[in-house]
Structure 1
Amino acid sequence: MIKSLSTLAFTAAAVLALGTGSASAITFKLATDSGAPGSPTAASMEQWAELIEEGTNGEIEVDIFYQNELGSQQEVFDLHVAGDVDLMINWPITAYDRRIGVIYTPYMVFTWEEALEAYKPGGWINGMLDGIYQDVGLKFFGAWPEGFNGVATRGKYALTVEDAGDIKVRVPPMFPQAETLEAMGYQTASIDWSEVFTSIETGVVDGDAANVIYWDYEYFRDTLDYYVRTKQSFVTGMISMNLGSFEGLSEEHQKVVQDAAVKVMEDHFVNGREIDAHYASLAEESGMEYIEPDEETIMGLAKVVREKVWPQMEDQVGSEIMDVVRANASPL
């Protein structure tokens, strides 16, 4: 009987120990501000989560929250900075540090090849962002490239500053989105992503600006008639982690999380261009008129926008950062 009791005690202790080990697993929240289940963003989030869980043998578990599940773009980024959201692939707002707006500097590059040189690990834009993110309380891992953006509209479109004057477009609520589109001749309204469809449907705006073709095809193809790829920005999401959450990990787990993020980034540098071209084709098939302005038109817009917006950028992000931009941006 004594031996039986001892065995039972040992078994109970073992079960308790196993239970304690399972309960001690870290759970991270991974969120995005733009990307429903089934979207390219969602696929990369799911890849990152899977790589983390596999790389830590389940010692870190990742809960995924898609677009609007935790709030608006502003609200989710607030949660990220506060540490209530640990991991993000997002399009960051500039409210915490205007220097983040350097990623929205218009007409820095004109080709995918130039963009990849700038944003890849060791690239000149990549290098600037790490220090900026740390000052906000975030760990920057890399870019999540989507491609060159444009202006999608209903009923009419513009290729020149003069023709854009009677068109009002939605822009994201972050500097210098409105300033850039206004320099291109448009009227603008800063509207959160969750309200864009209603704003177009009710005529508050004539279209959506600043997005790659995927978003305007996926959400507005039955509403908008034209997509003009004006290429004012090479659009990338950002892959990041709350700095406190990152520093709270062991070095081994830090490496797993970071390596997984870099893998997601590298894969999407390959896949992003193909995805962008695919959705341009789908947009045309759906009935949207897809317009690629010629090089002369793009360079004309770029000249006007750089002259008007880059001085404003310097006021916001500082001369040191803009000196780097001027030294490395593609020539006109």
Structure 2
Amino acid sequence: MVKTKATLRSFVTGLVTAGVLMAGSVQAATLKMATDSGAKGSPAGDTLERWADLIEKGSNGEIDVKVFYQNELGSQNEVFDLHVAGDVDVMLNWPMTSYDKRIGVIYTPYMTLSWEEAIKAYSPGGWVNNMLGGIYADLGLKFFGPWPEGFNGVATRGKYATNIAEADGLKVRTMTVFPAPQTMQALGYQTAAIDWGEVYTALQTGVVDGEAGNVIYWDYEYFRDQLDYYVRSKHFFMTGVLSMNAESFEDLSEAHQAIVADAAKQVMMQQFKAAKTADELYVKKAEEAGMKYFELSDEQIKVFARAAREKVWPLMDEEIGSEIMGTIRNNATKL
């Protein structure tokens, strides 16, 4: 009997020890966090660091976050591939459409024409936000929310265009996603779809005359020695996306899931408040650096918008479906 009790006691102790070890393994986690655009010290890079810091502090160090900046894990497409595959757990991305062209809804030209409309559409509960959440889920990604930057434009060297006729003969770089090239062609430009990491060389060697994928920050920060003009064409409201691989998310405890999601919400809401001010700051910096900036009138924007909607939206019906495009048509700014 004594031997039986001792054996039982030993067995129970072993179970408790194993349970403690298992609990410890569940609590500890390492997440790989990356962005496809933005070096250390850039707004995107700073957001990664804040997000990582909030996660680590919120979990009392139980979650260790490894941060990787643009080009450290590959090109835009390659890093998004890693994200979908689960080799990058958490990401601030400018989504690629190679997996699902419905992601192109984020690049639908001229959905909104003002900051107020855009913030309402992209904020949690907004109609664009809701569409993106469902599409990301179908890709196996947890959608936390957008990371807005603002309305983009066209930065060029030598000449510029404030209307479709003036764009004739200008060749600009676009993002390698649908419908970025198609949109700029509708606005009168020649296009070359070039990965972000190759844009400087393309400008330097004259492959393109300009860059047409970004808010002014990127053209000022990376290409101001190559470009002379920036025309705010507003063809896209630019936003990154805060997301997590769904399997990686499910592998976390519920407490850790809440910490990661709450940290994402904090950096997202901070960006909603800061984006417009930051954009205005970089307009000023660009002008001080010698770049000539053009803010188009409402009527000039509407001329561009009509051309893009007429030529690009029907293509999007075919690529992403009439149901999604019906939502966009019902909610987009009326011209």
Same fold judged by TM-score > 0.5? yes
> Quick one: which amino acid aligns to residue 157 of structure 1?
Y
The two structures have a TM-score, normalised by structure 1, of 0.93
- The answer as to 2:313 corresponding to 1:317 is no
Q: 2:298 aligns with which of 273, 286, 295?
A: 295
- Structure 1 counterpart of 2:63: 60
- The answer as to 2:94 corresponding to 1:78 is no
Q: Is the 8 A contact 2:26 2:252 kept in 1?
A: no
> Quick one: which amino acid aligns to residue 54 of structure 2?
L
Q: Is the 8 A contact 2:26 2:253 kept in 1?
A: no
> Quick one: which amino acid aligns to residue 117 of structure 2?
E
Once the 2 structures are TM-superposed, how far is the Cα of residue 295 of structure 1 from its aligned partner?
1.1
> Quick one: which amino acid aligns to residue 261 of structure 2?
Q
> Quick one: which amino acid aligns to residue 50 of structure 2?
Q
Q: 1:105 aligns with which of 108, 116, 136?
A: 108
CA separation in 2, counterparts of 1:236 and 1:26?
A: 29
CA separation in 1, counterparts of 2:67 and 2:231?
A: 34
- The answer as to 2:131 corresponding to 1:120 is no
Once the 2 structures are TM-superposed, how far is the Cα of residue 22 of structure 1 from its aligned partner?
8.6
- The answer as to 2:173 corresponding to 1:170 is yes
- Structure 2 counterpart of 1:227: 230
Once the 2 structures are TM-superposed, how far is the Cα of residue 23 of structure 1 from its aligned partner?
11
> Quick one: which amino acid aligns to residue 257 of structure 2?
Q
Q: 1:181 aligns with which of 184, 190, 202?
A: 184
Q: Which runs of 5+ in 2 are unaligned?
A: 1-16
Q: Is the 8 A contact 2:174 2:192 kept in 1?
A: yes
- The answer as to 2:275 corresponding to 1:272 is yes
Once the 2 structures are TM-superposed, how far is the Cα of residue 25 of structure 1 from its aligned partner?
2.2
CA separation in 2, counterparts of 1:189 and 1:134?
A: 31
CA separation in 2, counterparts of 1:103 and 1:23?
A: 36
Q: Is the 8 A contact 2:146 2:241 kept in 1?
A: yes
> Quick one: which amino acid aligns to residue 47 of structure 2?
S
- Structure 2 counterpart of 1:308: 311
- Structure 1 counterpart of 2:208: 205
- Structure 2 counterpart of 1:157: 160
For the residue of structure 1 that corresponds to 2:200, the secondary structure is helix
CA separation in 2, counterparts of 1:38 and 1:54?
A: 21
For the residue of structure 2 that corresponds to 1:269, the secondary structure is helix
- Structure 2 counterpart of 1:251: 254
Once the 2 structures are TM-superposed, how far is the Cα of residue 289 of structure 1 from its aligned partner?
0.2
CA separation in 2, counterparts of 1:214 and 1:167?
A: 21
Once the 2 structures are TM-superposed, how far is the Cα of residue 54 of structure 1 from its aligned partner?
1.1
Q: Is the 8 A contact 2:235 2:305 kept in 1?
A: yes
Identity of aligned residues (%): 62
* Runs of 4+ that moved beyond 2 A: 20-25
CA separation in 1, counterparts of 2:317 and 2:64?
A: 42
Cα deviation, 1:161-215, whole Å, max 9, x if unaligned, reads 1111100000010000000000000000010011100100100000100210000
Q: Is the 8 A contact 2:155 2:211 kept in 1?
A: yes
CA separation in 2, counterparts of 1:329 and 1:131?
A: 19
CA separation in 2, counterparts of 1:278 and 1:84?
A: 36
> Quick one: which amino acid aligns to residue 204 of structure 2?
E
Once the 2 structures are TM-superposed, how far is the Cα of residue 57 of structure 1 from its aligned partner?
1.0
- Structure 2 counterpart of 1:8: none
Q: Which runs of 5+ in 1 are unaligned?
A: 1-13
CA separation in 1, counterparts of 2:44 and 2:323?
A: 32
Q: Is the 8 A contact 2:231 2:293 kept in 1?
A: yes
The two structures have a TM-score, normalised by structure 2, of 0.92
- Structure 2 counterpart of 1:91: 94
Comparing 187-196 with 251-260, greater Cα deviation is found at 251-260
> Quick one: which amino acid aligns to residue 112 of structure 1?
W
Q: 1:328 aligns with which of 321, 327, 331?
A: 331
Once the 2 structures are TM-superposed, how far is the Cα of residue 21 of structure 1 from its aligned partner?
4.7
Once the 2 structures are TM-superposed, how far is the Cα of residue 218 of structure 1 from its aligned partner?
0.2
> Quick one: which amino acid aligns to residue 178 of structure 1?
P
CA 1:63–1:326 in 2, change beyond 3 Å: closer, same or farther?
A: same
- The answer as to 2:142 corresponding to 1:139 is yes
Structural RMSD (CA): 1.5
Q: 1:260 aligns with which of 260, 263, 268?
A: 263
- Structure 2 counterpart of 1:11: none
For the residue of structure 2 that corresponds to 1:232, the secondary structure is coil
CA separation in 1, counterparts of 2:198 and 2:210?
A: 12
- The answer as to 2:45 corresponding to 1:42 is yes
- Structure 2 counterpart of 1:7: none
CA 1:55–1:295 in 2, change beyond 3 Å: closer, same or farther?
A: same
CA separation in 1, counterparts of 2:119 and 2:170?
A: 32
